[in-house]
Chains A and B, each alone.
Chain A
Amino acid sequence: MKRVIIILSLLIVVSGLSVIAHAQGTVTPAWLSFVADGAAGSFSCTSGICHLGDERWFTSFNVSAGATVVATANNGPTIIRSPGTCTVDGTISQSVNTANGGGVLNEGDFGGGGGGGGGGTLAGRGGELSVGPGGLPVVSSGAKGAANGGPGGNAQSTATGQLHELLSGGAFWPIGGATGGVGGGNGSGTAGGQGGNGGGAVILVCNTINFTGTIDASGGAGSPAPAPNTGAGGGGGGGYVILSAINFTAKTGTINVSGGAGGSCNSQPTCGPGGAGGNGWSYFQTIQ
Chain B
Amino acid sequence: MKRTFLFFLLAAVAVALCPQGATAQTTVTPGWLAWLGDGSENTYSCTSGTCVLGGEHWFSSFTVASGATVVNTTVNSPIIIRSTGACTVHGTISSSVNTARGGGMNFNGDFGGAGGGGGGGAVGALVEGANGFTTVGIGGLPISNGGLGGGAGAPGGPGNSVDTGQYHQILSGGTFWPVGGSAGGQGGCNGHGKCGGNGGLGGSPVILICSSINFTGTIDASGGPGAPAPVNYSGSGGGGGGGYVIFSALNYVANTGAINVSGGAAGSCTTTGCAAGGVGGSGFTYTQTIQ
Are A and B associated in one complex?
yes
> Contact residues of A with B, CB < 8 Å?
2, 5-6, 8-10, 12-13, 15-17, 19-20, 22-30, 132-138, 159-162, 164-166, 168-172
Q: How far is the CB of B25 from chain A (nearest CB, A)?
A: 13
For the A-B complex with A27-B31, A137-B76 known, give 9 more contacts whose Cβ atoms are closer than 8 Å: A17-B15, A20-B19, A22-B19, A23-B290, A161-B55, A162-B55, A162-B56, A165-B80, A169-B32
Contact partners of B67 in chain A: CB under 8 A: none
CA distance A134 to B76 in the complex (A): 11
Are A19's CB and B108's CB within 8 A? no
Most chain B Cβ neighbours within 10 Å, of A22, A25, A137: A25
CA distance A132 to B56 in the complex (A): 14
Are A29's CB and B177's CB within 8 A? no
What are 27 A-B pairs at a CB distance below 8 A? A10-B12, A15-B20, A16-B16, A16-B20, A17-B15, A23-B19, A23-B22, A23-B23, A25-B34, A25-B209, A25-B290, A27-B35, A28-B35, A29-B35, A30-B31, A132-B176, A132-B179, A133-B138, A137-B76, A160-B41, A161-B54, A164-B55, A165-B80, A165-B176, A168-B82, A169-B174, A170-B32
Which chain A residue lies CB-closest to B175? Answer: A169
Q: Which of B121-173 contact A (CB under 8 A)?
A: 136-138, 140
Q: How far is the CB of B72 from chain A (nearest CB, A)?
A: 10
Contact partners of B22 in chain A: CB under 8 A: 23
B99 at the interface (CB under 8 A from A): no
CA distance A29 to B250 in the complex (A): 17
Q: How far is the CB of B211 from chain A (nearest CB, A)?
A: 7
Are A161's CB and B18's CB within 8 A? no
CA distance A8 to B188 in the complex (A): 76
Most chain B Cβ neighbours within 10 Å, of A13, A22, A134, A170: A134
Contact partners of B275 in chain A: CB under 8 A: none
B253 at the interface (CB under 8 A from A): no
Contact partners of A28 in chain B: CB under 8 A: 35
Give the contacting residue for B174; candidates A10, A15, A24, A170; CB below 8 A.
A170
CA distance A160 to B38 in the complex (A): 13
Are B23's CB and A26's CB within 8 A? no
Are B16's CB and A165's CB within 8 A? no
Most chain B Cβ neighbours within 10 Å, of A15, A17, A165, A170: A165
Q: Which of B4-48 contact A (CB under 8 A)?
A: 5, 8-9, 12-13, 15-20, 22-23, 28-29, 31-32, 34-37, 41
Q: How far is the CB of B112 from chain A (nearest CB, A)?
A: 13
Contact partners of B28 in chain A: CB under 8 A: 23
CA distance A250 to B130 in the complex (A): 58
